[in-house]
A and B are shown apart, each in its own frame.
Chain A
């Protein structure tokens, strides 16, 4: 069982050079994720939230500042961090079981232990019975569950979620959000979720950081201390959503707009 990791991000700056032009993606991003916490990063597209996740997972090591995992600087991918991408990224030529087992490929476990772990993980994400299915035979939701199982089977201290539910339909998304919450409770892993769905962020996390774009920086940090299970339609939920949307400049008081008032009245008649 992995120990939930603590992540410290210290004035991280990142730029790309495109055709000789310097394109600043992240400008001094700083925040912490406590061990066992569920933190969501919300922001408009282009704010560098996915780039930040790539830095944390270790796919890209060219950046300024520090990203510390349990006090040590990250240098390349490691078993301590698992990631789920927006596309499930299951290998089409491997069965579900083989895809999940791919994480254990160079672990020095006996074949029996590996099979056991795969079985357990498959059950955890509710895919028992589909072990021998190929990815094209799975629905989007099932494929994403399998991707979560693949990321968790190593028992990483930190699970990075890069808009994992972004490509799913609304109903499957809500189901999988509940599933993620359950998995988080069972595994106790530190979770960092990148999303642009504010509801999703509030439903799942202890903490939400809002990012702004061009170049990306943390504009505000929210602590979510709503009781669980969370009521998606409850007043506190809605209130927090209003604050976050306002931070994203996506919310205006209805009263400010005459047109919208007229439309509201029209809908009452």
Chain B
């Protein structure tokens, strides 16, 4: 995985070198695809897995009730999309994840920066943060559902909380590890406090922040499924647990596949963003 990602990042760097427009437009589609989703080599294993699945279903190594054939799952997908509300459930999940991610990361970066800049503030937050952090989001959910009901707000709050901590800790750590030399340079150049934060401290902490953003995005997407499974009446997480209850294994697999694919796309998009923002970095490309 990391292998593929590294390759994608390299392409990003060389792609921007001024090629003639005609050449670019031809290679753009393939280049774009490779950059976003990695080289086609990555498709070999998924194809093998589907082939194995098909074989297992054809020879009925597992009972069809527990493992329907790929074709049946595709049919179920079409049914759910056209006759049921799959698309709306998908949007419901995305909505929760999107909001939770934005709120949680904004709060994490904001408070992490404040704690990074002021040791007093870090000490003030320290005890609380380190205690609350160890209560998993899912353990918060029952209480928050009692307060806010089974709708979206409770889930947004719980997932935002899970997004908050990696960002808070990494931003804080990133700021604390800014080289003292750079701060000294800022002093010599008479930067104001604000300029120092904007031009020196935050960019220096950016590699840490970007890694935790990517991690938190994946975490948020994984958590929404759990949160929806535990409470509420919509979303992919709800569908997956309902399908289990009704023994609709084909629908269950549809949900699993969607969750996996969406997670993959989210991760690749975050990685592309990371490459873009950290394009000044010169690292080991593998």
Contacts and interface: CB of A to CB of B under 8 A. Distances in A.
Contact of A93 (B188, B190, B206): B206
B280 interface: yes
Interface stretch (B2-10, B65-73, B191-199, B247-255): B191-199
B280 A83 contact: no
Nearest to A151: B188
Contacts of B14: none
B200 interface: yes
Interface string B247-286: 0000000000000000000000000000000011110000
A61 to B, nearest CB: 12
B280 A92 contact: yes
A229 B168 CA distance: 59
A134 B188 CA distance: 21
A103 interface: yes
Interface residues on A, range: 20 to 34
Nearest to B192: A106
Contacts of A150: 189
A89 interface: yes
Interface string A45-79: 00000000000011100000000000000000111
A77 B200 contact: no
Contact of A77 (B188, B192, B199): B188
Nearest to B187: A77
Interface residues on B, range: 20 to 34
Contacts of B63: none
Central interface residue in B182, B192, B279, B280, by most chain A CB within 10 Å: B280
A200 interface: no
B185 A89 contact: yes
A59 B204 CA distance: 21
Contacts of A134: 279-280, 282
A105 B186 CA distance: 10
Given A87-B181, A91-B199, A93-B206, A103 B189 contact: yes
Interface of A: 57-59, 77-79, 82-83, 85, 87, 89, 91-94, 102-103, 105-106, 134-136, 150
Given A85-B185, A93-B280, 11 more contacts: A77-B187, A78-B190, A85-B181, A87-B181, A89-B182, A91-B182, A94-B199, A103-B189, A134-B280, A134-B282, A135-B280
A-B CB proximity, top 7 nearest: A136-B282, A93-B203, A93-B280, A134-B280, A77-B188, A89-B185, A103-B189
